[in-house]
Amino acid sequence: MADGSLVTSFDPYAVRAQFPILSRQVNGKPLVYLDNAASAQKPRAVIDALVASMEGSYANVHRGLHTLSNEATEAFEKAREIVARFLNAETSEQVVWTKGGTEAINLVANGLGLSIQPGDEIVVTEMEHHSNIVPWHFLRERYGAVLKWAPIKDDGSLDMAAYADLLGPRTRMVAATHMSNVLGTINPVAEISRLAHAAGAQVLIDGCQGAVHATPDVQAIGCDFYVITGHKLFGPTGIGALYGKAEALEALPPYQGGGEMIERVEQDRITYAKPPHRFEAGTPPILEAIGLGTALDWLSQYDRAAVQAHEHALYQHALDRLQGQDWLRILGQAEGKGALLTFAIEGAHAHDVAQIMDRYGVAVRAGTHCAEPLAKRLGVTSSTRASFALYNTMEDTDAFVDALIKARNFFV
């Protein structure tokens, strides 16, 4: 909250009331929104902040000497400070605005690529989202880098012994997710970072899910880079952030050229701004950054442990109700996983399952979830995913299970 107070008794119904869209109906049924891992809904606080900024204090930021520009700049940079505090960064200068998690990873990969030598190694895990795979494949295609894959165990947890064995003198980067968007696995990112650093490698953690459902403390994790995206954190689309250690950001060359990222431009030379502005060419996502700052300020009023306990209770209730259903295969049951239930139904395509569930107002995600190497490892061509958030309730969970059983009955 703006005043820094903490809500100690978590009430999901009070939270839910702050999300206008959750009061609507879909196909004549109350909306049960369980597609949060793809994109979360927006609270009234964020909606109001965006409207207020557009109506009362919008202008381009930095270097403007008029009142509106000064007000917009203050709100824009305050949002950067909120992100830094949320991640427990040492300073807001370690936070770079991007248009999302994907661009943040590409920024780092692009910079690393300029110093990659053929045979240099990048370690990724089998559970990565395509956004944390494809940019490293670019370095394989263009510069001769070698991708190495840390395997997962059958329960969906990362095989840490196998990961450690992959590290060597040619390892340049380890890129790993904080929390799998398919399995819900929460990785031991501090240990991943420690082992990588011992081998002389840098570490990028994809926190697009972990920042929502785990604890994104970058100092405790010890990573060189940490990536978040705003729309999964109850903020707008088109905004994300890259955290980097000061020395890691200082060593990265600029990602894009244009205004804002320079100190001086002359006919025969250019000098670049210091981080974070070195990486923020052009007019930034001003309104979106203010919206994300508002979202994190709003989210921070709730005790994180209480939210995690609530989400896990919803997930466990769904598991309990589905226990003994031999037609259901649950993907990922690692200890301590996040509140995300991905499953396959024998004889049914995930797309069909999701469309049938939508008839009952239940929104879930279907497909490979932008994780094709993981789908291959699991031996599935598609799966359905229900992902819980702090505004979901036990009634949502029951509606999900009821709709799932009805959907299955279509294929019997």
Catalytic residues, which ones? 370
Cβ neighbours of 253 (radius 10 Å): 13
For CA atoms 378, 384, 387, 392, give the dihedral sign: negative
Cα 57 to Cα 52, 53, 72, distances in angstroms = 7, 5, 6
- Secondary structure (H, E, C), 174-224: EEEECECCCCCCECCHHHHHHHHHHCCCEEEEECCCHHHHCCCCHHHHCCC
- Secondary structure (H, E, C), 81-146: HHHHHHHCCCCHHHEEEECCHHHHHHHHHHHHHCCCCCCCEEEEECCCCHHHCHHHHHHHHHHCCE
- For residues 176 and 203, is the Cβ–Cβ distance under 8 A? yes
Strands (E), 266-369: 270-272, 328-331, 340-345, 362-363, 365-367
Beta-ladder partners of 100: none
Give me 393's structure tokens: 């309730």
Beta-ladder partners of 264: 271
Q: Which of 245, 229, 212 is nearest to 285 (CA)?
A: 229
Residue 118 preceded by cis peptide, ω within 30: no
CA angle 47, 52, 56 (to 5 degrees): 160
Beta-ladder partners of 299: none
C-alpha neighbours within 13 Å on the C-beta side of residue 384: 28
C-alpha neighbours within 13 Å on the C-beta side of residue 84: 18
Q: Please list the alpha-helical segments (H only) found in 323-393.
A: 350-358, 372-378
